[in-house]
Amino acid sequence: MDPSIYALVLDTLNRATSQDTEILKPAEKKLQEWEIEPGFYSVLLDILSNHSIDINVRWLAVMCFKNGVDRYWRKNAPNAITDEEKQKLRQGLLNTNILNEPITQIATQQAVLISKIARLDCPAHWPNLVPDLVGALKAPQPLVQHRSLLIFHHLVKALASKRLLGDRKVFQELTNSVFAFILNLWHENTELFLRHIQEGAATELITEHLEKALLCLRILRKLTVFGFKKAHESQDAVAFLNVVFDRAKTSLECRKLLKGRGIYPLELCEKFIIHLTKVALGVLGHHPFSYVPLIRPSLEFALYYCFTEQGMALIYERFTIQCLNIVKGILQCAEYRLPKGVEPVREPLTLQAHQAKMEVLDQNTVCHMCRHLVTHYFVLSADDLALWDAEPESFATDEAGESWKYSLRPCTEALFMELFQFRNVLAPELVRLLASLQQRPILPDDLPSILKKDAIYNAVGLAAFDLYDDVDFDEWFTNVLSQELKIKDNNYRIIRRRVCQLIGQWCGVRASQSLRPAMYEALLEPLSRPDEDAAVKLAAAEALRSTIDDFNFDVEQFAPYAPHAIAALYELLVESEECDTKMHVLHVVSYIMERCGASVARGGGTGALFAYLPQLWSHAASAAHNMLRAAALATTVHLLKALGECPLSIRPWILSVVNESTRLTEPAHVYLLEDALELWLAILETSHTSDPVLLQLADNLYPILGKCMKLSNFVI
């Protein structure tokens, strides 16, 4: 494309930012046509480099450029950008206007754009990129230095993601050449922003150096984690790691001083602290032996800030999660565990790590951590209860997740379970906490005591396997838990829900076979109660699934309860509002039908479910919830197999959903095809005669077989 059409491209970009679709659509189409024209990206570079042009137009220009790199930069791509134009673009991407970009959002996209090209071309076709950036980092202008750091951050992030051996060697060479320089730059900006905060300097000055310090820290994290074979063999890396926790302590103190100075500086400071902990977690995960000298300081750091009143006054939730995950990572690290039996320790650092860990985590400390986790972190907060009141289904679903890396409650529970490698110390402590609940009855209006009991019950459920010899579950269930399920006060819904979870957690650990009928009755009571809380019902349904999924499950013992269970689950399915909730309930129904479908079929409990499935399918389709549709297909398979025949009333619907789900032209087939094929087979097996609609499904089979053959040839 000739540069003389600069004005035409600029006008088209202007029209492509219009809110009028009649102007917007033709302009977008024209830009798409130009993507493969020679010289188009050079014009885009000229436009995005011109600061006098409208921000929206320049934003669109950089986005078009970025998308073009994804599609046409590789040599073997159809309509690839020519080598001559690539060379011109590489030279122009570090010009003065790019490095002086005043708009942060555009500067970020430019940095991402450069990093995408660098991932493909650096260092072979762009050898001067890193030296030019390092030169720009030494510039006296603050904006140029900031934009250069931003580009360097995205460059390092892109190169660190390349995992082939040759690429890793290139990244290690890059690390060796720039680490000391970036480290000094980080020290300089960190010292400045900390001093400015302590002296009460202008917010703009604090923000300037804090932004640079954060970018340097992000770069150092990638370099440290991915740029060394053994981080502890680099003096610069060791020097950096040795100050991480000291910097975090100082930054936490300064964070207090930033309150009232605006949201942005406070958020920046919190991000800076979080990235310091990410450095620790990254090295712990990728270089466990390099982390050995940091075991003691990091454990002491986490113990102070997460398990003492003074430390907890300085912290915030995301930081707490990071600290607890560091402790969990140290406890979980296989390299820090001594070999079992008489096998000798082959790595001296393993012994050193184990000793450091055990010196800090003595008996008193471990007991204190256990008590604090249970009595502080496990206690439902006011926000938890507010969410439960407002959205009980969301609360129950959130609680069932395993987001321990990012959510506080799952994080504390994961650490608690990891702490039980000190079982001999913690089991008696937990039994004492449980026994303390029996000292006096807890009244329904005593919410703090109810919350404490719930927290202790939660701990006993999580540690069920480790408490096998210490808790007589049969006696506890008979004398206490089953009675608590009958207390209908609103506050006691907290305990009712937890009791249901305890049944699910203990049924496969230590619950006698003779106790099973009483457990089924106990779970079906809240599940069947019309006025029961939704979160309690969902906990009962999940616990019922656990009892059925247990190795010692006896079909004949459960058979009398199966129709009642299906009826109660059907009511819960209809009552539930969220698609995720319906999907969980359907999974429980599938378990029951799979394990004892014949009993349910004989009891006549499937009619209402069959009648509801078409409505559920339509609801899931309108919400574009394909996982719920897949669950509905799987449940239908189990229902058909249990009945041994397909009811005439539901047959047309089944044939229509099989047809829809096995058509490769339907976008949703990627989610539904496997379950739909199972359903197709089930209806064939339960059909006594064929009909035109069933035979017509064969038209969908040939494209599926063709796709399978293509995949087979690809694998071979």
pTM as predicted: 0.90
Q: Mean of the pLDDT values across residues 520-542? A: 94
**Which of these, 594, 591, 642, 639, lies nearest to 612 by C-alpha position?**
639
Q: Which pLDDT score, from 0 to 100, does residue 714 have?
A: 52
Residue 140 pLDDT exceeds 50: yes
Neighbours of 557 (CB within 10 A): 15
- DSSP collapsed to 3 states, 560-601: HHHHHHHHHHHHHHHHCCCHHHHHHHHHHHHHHHHHHHHHHH
- Which tops the pLDDT comparison, 645 or 271? 271
For residue range 596-618, list pLDDT tens digits in order: 876 666 666 677 888 888 988 88
Q: Where in the chain is the domain with CATH 1.25.10.10?
A: 1-161
For residue range 388-414, list pLDDT tens digits in order: 999 998 888 765 445 778 889 999 999
Q: Which pLDDT score, from 0 to 100, does residue 711 have?
A: 61
CA 389 to chain centre: 25
CA–CA distance, 4 with 162 (Å, rounded to integer):
39
Q: Which residues contact 43 (CB under 8 A, 6 or more apart)?
A: 1, 3, 5, 6, 9
CB 430 within 8 A of CB 369: no
CA–CA distance, 249 with 578 (Å, rounded to integer):
43
Radius of gyration for the alpha carbons in the chain, expressed in angstroms and rounded = 31
Token code pair at residue 644: 């041994």
CB 484 within 8 A of CB 495: yes
User: Could you tell me the pLDDT band of residue 712, with boundaries at 50, 70 and 90?
Assistant: low
User: Could you tell me the pLDDT band of residue 540, with boundaries at 50, 70 and 90?
Assistant: very high
- Which tops the pLDDT comparison, 327 or 585? 327
Q: Is 615 exposed, middle or buried (0-12, 13-18, 19+ CB in 10 A)?
A: exposed
Q: Which pLDDT score, from 0 to 100, does residue 400 have?
A: 47
For residue range 56-90, list pLDDT tens digits in order: 999 999 999 999 999 999 988 899 999 999 999 99
Residue 206 pLDDT exceeds 60: yes
Q: Mean of the pLDDT values across residues 306-317? A: 94
For residue range 641-667, list pLDDT tens digits in order: 888 888 888 889 999 999 999 998 888
Q: What is the mean pLDDT of the chain?
A: 91
End-to-end CA, the chain: 44
Q: Which residues contact 152 (CB under 8 A, 6 or more apart)?
A: 133, 137, 182, 215, 219
CB 585 within 8 A of CB 573: yes
Q: Which pLDDT score, from 0 to 100, does residue 274 have?
A: 98
Token code pair at residue 671: 């989610």
The CATH classification number of 1-161 equals 1.25.10.10
